[in-house]
Chain A
Amino acid sequence: MSKADLAQGKVIRMSLLFRVQHLLLTVLLLVLALTGFALMYHENALAQAIIRFEGGVQNRGVVHRIAAVLLMANMAYHIFYMLLSREGRAEFRDFLVSRKDIDEFLQSLRYNVGMTSEYPRFGRYGFKEKFQYWGTSVGILLIAFTGFMLWAETFSMRVFPKFVLDLALIIHGYQGLLGFLLLFLWHVYNVHFAPSVFPMNPSWITGKVSAEWLRREHPLEYEKLKGEGLL
């Protein structure tokens, strides 16, 4: 954290590497959703327009798989980074789910219905971020697994009966829908429309949030940084 940042009351929340990973994830997921849902809802006129825009069914598949491979590369890099680098390991520990998260979730409910006046004291990541992170990760792994099954059709057809591939296909599609809704409703609400960040939490671009926001939303993290003399 530079002195200029501190003078403006800014705190780094997303390092450059994470921002790049996040941006890649955003773009690739959008491409995958656009190409994937066009096929899933192929009887819809908009979907048909999208397939034509993508250059037909065959090209749609090529675009979808290129994006999928890039996403897998991004995921693989992310996993290695989270497990092997010093910064990643710290992040990973912050993302681990514990009993505390459930308590905090319940407390936030009580706080909102007015049963308590104390807002949960979140650490670096609260239940919203953890739910988002693990939900998306598990979803992507499931989609990736079924996606590879469908892609490697020659192999799959030798190993699996057709109904297994029918199952893989429907899981792939609906898990995609689930993930898409999770990201578009939960994530976009939390980082854009929630009153504390409206119109946008800028950290995905600048990497920074205001110290004041951190103090309100993630007081434990705020105090930790302060204790380390970083604020």
Chain B
Amino acid sequence: MIRCFLVAALAAAALLTAGPAGAAAPSVGECLDCHGDKSIEMTTPGGQTVSLHVDLEEYRRSVHGGGSCVTCHTDAKSPHERLAKVNCGRCHGDAAKSYASSSHGKLRAKGVADVPACHDCHGKHGIRKSKDPAARTFHLNIAAACLRCHKDRAIERKYGLPGEKEMIGYERSVHGLASKGGQMGSAVCPDCHGNHTILPGDNPKSATNRQNIPTLCGKCHTGILDKYERSVHAKGMRAGIAESPVCTDCHGEHTISKVSDPNSPVAARNIPKTCSRCHDKEGISSRYALPKKRFSSYMDSFHGIAVEYGMTKAANCASCHGVHDILPSSDPASTVNKANLPNTCGRCHPKAGPNFAKGPVHVEITPSKSLGVFAIRVFYTLFISALVILFVLHVGLEMYGRWNRRRKGGAEGKGSPK
């Protein structure tokens, strides 16, 4: 019974759609009678002249090339006035739906003209599958398609976008360079931002929203995501603490570069500054009960000085605390847990055993933290000050004596000293 009904419904639908179209629809050849002419053009209400030429070859090679003009230009007759806008969503319903929910789609729906519609990224008659290297949306071509607008200063300013510096930064980033070098595995714009559903990062649904960043980067950097998930930073981030760093806080966003790049925020030499962007903040230390003065005590140590002067084999923060899997020292699995310190120091100093790891590593010169060092410093400061004062007094006294004897005149005669 149900089957009979379905068959009937299908037959009715076929009649309704195919019937009227079949009656009046021009064939591709008929359309090309006019549109094959290279000089055919029209003037828009805005006064612009637009070519109406359609390159048959290009169309035939496109993904839609086996179809006919009226599949998209449903209202085309021969001859015809201005046609309605093509609605890709008639076939590509899912894409149209997600596009409509994106920043681009929402603005477009409001009638803003300078945000991209389907054809701005995909092309018109020459649309190719994104796997086709000639497609505009091909992996290695898509960044150029996005940057056509996103490197435009006027557009960047109009919509309060990050600015062309970031965009140029992408081109020089490890991802951008890999993409330019033809690496299919390189991250290009839609890999992070999504394609049809692009949303600004402050939208919780955006792929590039803070809370989604680790998962996003982890799409490619799986092993690192696993490590990060174990870290105290991930724990904080999953708990919704916005101060807890995600990938981009240390690595940067568009400008991401290799660790070996000296300008990278995670290059050995820059690590202390990168970590201390948060860990040298009074507020953060207090809120999360972290020990203070980690940066200054490190920078005063030999490790700190050596790294500062480019001797990057000396330990930076990450050498001891770990990189993606950083844990608090209270955690038994932490590389800086008391029990693991001999092992951690031993990675560079093989002979530094359990005996060495006694006492604080970051030396803060205060009575409560490092009494011995504090006492010696106080002793020397007093001793040196006293010595200098006594010395000055002594010189003063010698001068006074000399002046005094001179004043009293020649009583001392030539024979007496000074």
Contacts and interface: CB of A to CB of B under 8 A. Distances in A.
B355 A42 contact: no
A158 B356 contact: yes
A120 B380 CA distance: 32
B358 A161 contact: yes
Interface string B352-378: 110111111101000000101100110
Interface string A176-205: 011001100110010000111000000000
Chain A residues touching B, majority SS? helix
B311 interface: yes
Contacts of A167: 372-373, 376
B384 A181 contact: yes
Nearest to B352: A157
B358 A178 contact: no
Contacts of B310: 56-57
Interface in A15-68: 39, 42-43, 51, 56-58
B358 A114 contact: no
A157 B351 contact: yes
A185 B308 CA distance: 33
Contact of B416 (A119, A153, A163, A170): A119
Interface string B279-300: 0000000000000000000010
Contacts of A79: none
A117 interface: yes
Interface stretch (B67-75, B152-160, B217-225, B397-405): B397-405
B47 interface: no
A42 B308 contact: yes
Contact of A178 (B357, B380, B398): B380
B357 A162 contact: yes
Interface stretch (B58-66, B114-122, B179-187, B387-395): B387-395
A133 interface: no
Contact of A42 (B305, B352, B357, B400): B305
Contact of A158 (B305, B355, B363, B418): B355
A39 to B, nearest CB: 6
Contacts of A111: 401
Contact of B397 (A113, A159, A185): A113
Given A117-B412, A154-B349, A160-B356, A178 B387 contact: yes
B309 interface: yes
A174 B417 CA distance: 37
Contacts of A69: none
Contact of A163 (B305, B349, B372): B372
Contacts of A170: 373, 376-377, 380
A191 B290 CA distance: 54
A175 interface: yes
B5 to A, nearest CB: 85
B375 to A, nearest CB: 9
B13 to A, nearest CB: 80
B306 interface: yes
B401 A112 contact: yes
Contacts of A109: 397
A101 interface: no
Contacts of B417: 119, 196, 216-217
A195 B405 CA distance: 14
B351 A195 contact: no
Given A119-B417, A175-B380, A194-B398, A160 B355 contact: yes
- Which 3 A-B pairs have CB atoms at the shortest separation, nearest pair first? A112-B401, A174-B380, A163-B359
24 contacts: A43-B299, A57-B305, A57-B310, A113-B400, A117-B416, A154-B351, A158-B351, A158-B355, A161-B356, A162-B357, A162-B361, A163-B372, A163-B373, A166-B359, A166-B372, A166-B373, A174-B384, A175-B380, A185-B391, A189-B391, A195-B398, A195-B418, A216-B417, A217-B417
Interface of A: 39, 42-43, 51, 56-58, 109, 111-114, 117, 119, 153-155, 157-163, 166-167, 170-171, 174-175, 177-178, 181-182, 185-186, 189, 194-196, 216-217
